[in-house]
Structure formats: C-alpha cells, structure tokens
C-alpha cells in the first residue's frame, strides 16, 4: 500500500504549525508523569481514530518505540487508511554498532527501512529520519538515505536532532525534514540561523515535545527529585497560563504552534482525554500569552530542556 505524500508546505508560508501525533506512547511505557503504562490496543486504536477524525493527517513513529510501528500498521490496515495517512518513521538508534564494516552503512539503511515498512504494512513512507542524530555526519549513511528515496521507498529523508549543530548540518546537506525539540523552555534554535536557512532551502521543520515530555503539565509537587531544579519554572509557567484562563496543555500547544516557526508540532498523549484536550487547543491563539512566556523564560539550562540528560528518566 503506497503511503500518500506530497511536498509539504515549508515554514515561509505558514504562520501556525499543524499538529502531528507522536506515537512513542502507543508502543511503550513513556512519559515522565505516566502512572498508567502504555495504552491497550483498543485504546491506542481509539486514540488514532480520534486523531484522524480530528484532522491529524501525519503520524510520527520509530523502530525504537517498542510496538508502536506494529500498532500503527495494524490500525492503518484495519481502517484501510494506508493511502490516507502520512507516516514518518525513524531508523533504529545506534544500529551501526552491530555492523563493524561501516562501508555497508547504505545497505543497512535499506535493510532497516524495510523492517519498518514491513511492520507498518506499507510500501513507502512519507519520511524516514535518522534517530541517532550524529549519523548525519556519516556520508555512507546519508548516501543510504538518498538511495532509498531514489528507490521510492520514502518520499522524504531527514534527521531528528538534539543539538543545534546537527540541525544546521542537516539543512546544509539538503535533508528534506528536520525534527527539533521545541517548547516554552527550549527555544535554543531561535538563537541560530536554523529557521532562516531551513526556509531558504525549503526544509520542512517538525517541532517535538511541546509539553517537554509532560514536565510542563505536571503538578509541581509531583515533579520527581532528580528534576526538582525545574519545579520553580513549572510553577511560574502554570501561574502565567492560569491568569490567561488556559490549561497548561492548551498554553504549551498554543506556544509551540504559534511561536516555533516550525511547519508541524509533534505531540504525544497517553489517553483519549489528553488527545481531545490537545486537539481542541489545536486552533486556539493567544499572542499576549505567547509574548509573556517568551519574556519570562529565557536560556533554560540544557539539563532541564534535554530529556536525555534527565538522570533517571526512562527513554
């Protein structure tokens, strides 16, 4: 089943980012605040149904998200939506360590994308991203991405980054998609030429983690000790949004959609009620709120904004 794709609009002609549903939560126990484990298959299907009915036409998944690709594949098949939903997946992280002969990297990219296509029950993907961002510097790997695109297995190629330098390099070498972390506390890429260069080279930008994996939405007193240094920031964020009569989730999504300068915002949910709230805020705007948040939160430490630095976080 060919996965639909057309050259997505890029950032110079969009004022507000469009929502993309991330699926890490559907395939493994995930999320800082997650006390329920992962949703059942029925609840995962209900979440995907409501997302689709709510106009979300793109799903972000990955080989590394436990059973997420299988769940999405089964859902697409059962709903006969293989041709109507765009699917972005990501290569298994650190896969090259299993293959000492680096020169085979291009073949490994092809073998890995084939595994994701098989799990998703698709003939092609809208996009295939590197999940280990430093692979963007390995020419054999990048060649492998270009080859699977030429073969029509994927429409777009790219990378999901953690650091600014990886994002800038990805634009420089002409990737189609770059996925960046972005939220009220993490606006590091605004301090670089990334968005200007991405616009110039028609690179499509995806901003993930608008809730900073749920940290921005947690009751401050429930924030675990290893993140206690973030508590005062979360308290201040929630005070400000309360004054604007918004929920933390609504405010965080409004901010990411209207301030990121990205084309898409990739968010995750654990439950149907979370999804319904997030979709509802999908068309909300509050420039006064966004300005106040920008003024109040500057240069947050990397130890807070980069979840892979959260000592005890499960990923």
Ligand X SMILES: NC(=O)c1ccc[n+]([C@@H]2O[C@H](COP(=O)([O-])OP(=O)(O)OC[C@H]3O[C@@H](n4cnc5c(N)ncnc54)[C@H](OP(=O)(O)O)[C@@H]3O)[C@@H](O)[C@H]2O)c1
| Torsion sign (Cα): 166, 172, 175, 178 | positive
Give the tokens for residue 271: 């439950």
Region 75-94 residues binding ligand X, contact defined as CB under 6 A? 90
Cβ 1 to ligand X shortest distance, Å? 22
Q: Can residue 25 be called a binding residue for ligand X (CB under 6 A)?
A: yes
The candidate with the shortest Cα–Cα distance to 54, out of 272, 297, 307, is 272
Site string for ligand X, 151-180 (x = CB under 6 A): ---------x------------------x-
Coil/strand/helix, residue 49: helix
Which residue has the CB atom at the shortest distance from ligand X? Answer: 22
Region 208-227 residues binding ligand X, contact defined as CB under 6 A? 208-214, 217
Instruction: Give kind and range of the element (H or E) at residue 178.
Output: strand 177-181
Binding segment for ligand X among 2-10, 149-157, 269-277, 291-299 (CB under 6 A)? Answer: 269-277
Within 10 Å of residue 36's Cβ, how many Cβ atoms?
Answer: 11
Hunting for tokens 């057309």 — which residue is that?
A: 6
Binding segment for ligand X among 102-110, 196-204, 268-276, 285-293 (CB under 6 A)? Answer: 268-276
Site string for ligand X, 91-130 (x = CB under 6 A): ----------------------------------------
Closer to ligand X by CB, 11 or 213: give it. Answer: 213
Cα gap 253→155, rounded to integer Å: 28
Residues of 269-302 as b/e, b for ≥16 C-beta within 10 angstroms?
bbebebbeebbebbeeebeebbebbeeebeebee
**Binds ligand X by CB under 6 A, chosen from 5, 33, 300, 306:** 33
Q: Can residue 268 be called a binding residue for ligand X (CB under 6 A)?
A: yes
Cβ 27 to ligand X shortest distance, Å? 9
The candidate with the shortest Cα–Cα distance to 217, out of 247, 254, 181, is 247
CA 297 to chain centroid = 22
Cα gap 216→223, rounded to integer Å: 10
Cβ 60 to ligand X shortest distance, Å? 4
Q: Can residue 69 be called a binding residue for ligand X (CB under 6 A)?
A: no
Closer to ligand X by CB, 107 or 235: give it. Answer: 235
**Residues at the interface with ligand X (CB under 6 A):** 22-25, 31-34, 60, 90, 131, 160, 179, 208-214, 217, 249, 266-270, 274, 277-278
């Amino acid at each position: 089943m060919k996965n639909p794709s057309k050259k997505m609009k890029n950032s110079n002609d969009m004022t507000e980012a469009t929502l993309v549903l991330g699926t890490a939560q559907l395939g493994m126990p995930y999320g800082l605040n997650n006390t329920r484990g992962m949703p059942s298959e029925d609840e995962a299907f209900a979440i995907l149904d409501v997302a689709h009915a709510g106009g979300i036409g793109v799903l972000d998944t990955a080989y590394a998200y436990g059973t997420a690709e299988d769940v999405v594949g089964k859902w697409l098949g059962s709903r006969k939506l293989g041709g109507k939903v765009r699917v972005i997946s990501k290569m298994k992280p650190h896969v090259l360590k299993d293959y000492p002969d680096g020169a085979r990297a291009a073949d490994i990219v092809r073998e890995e994308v084939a595994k994701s296509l098989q799990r998703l029950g698709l003939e092609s993907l809208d996009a295939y991203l590197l999940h280990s961002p430093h692979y963007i510097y390995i020419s054999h790997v990048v060649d492998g991405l270009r080859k699977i695109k030429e073969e029509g297995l994927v429409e777009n190629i790219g990378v999901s980054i953690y650091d600014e330098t990886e994002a800038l390099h990805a634009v420089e070498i002409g990737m189609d998609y770059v996925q960046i972390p972005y939220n009220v506390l993490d606006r590091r890429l605004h301090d670089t030429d990334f968005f200007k260069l991405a616009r110039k080279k028609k690179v499509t930008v995806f901003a993930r983690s608008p809730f900073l994996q749920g940290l921005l939405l947690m009751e401050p007193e429930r924030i675990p000790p290893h993140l206690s240094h973030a508590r005062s920031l979360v308290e201040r964020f929630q005070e400000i949004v309360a004054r604007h009569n918004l929920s933390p989730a609504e405010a965080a999504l409004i901010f990411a959609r209207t301030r990121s300068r990205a084309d898409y915002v990739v968010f995750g949910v654990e439950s149907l009620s979370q999804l319904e709230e997030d979709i509802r805020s999908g068309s909300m705007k509050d420039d006064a709120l966004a300005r106040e948040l920008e003024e109040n939160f500057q240069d947050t430490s990397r130890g807070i904004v980069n979840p892979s630095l959260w000592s005890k976080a499960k990923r």
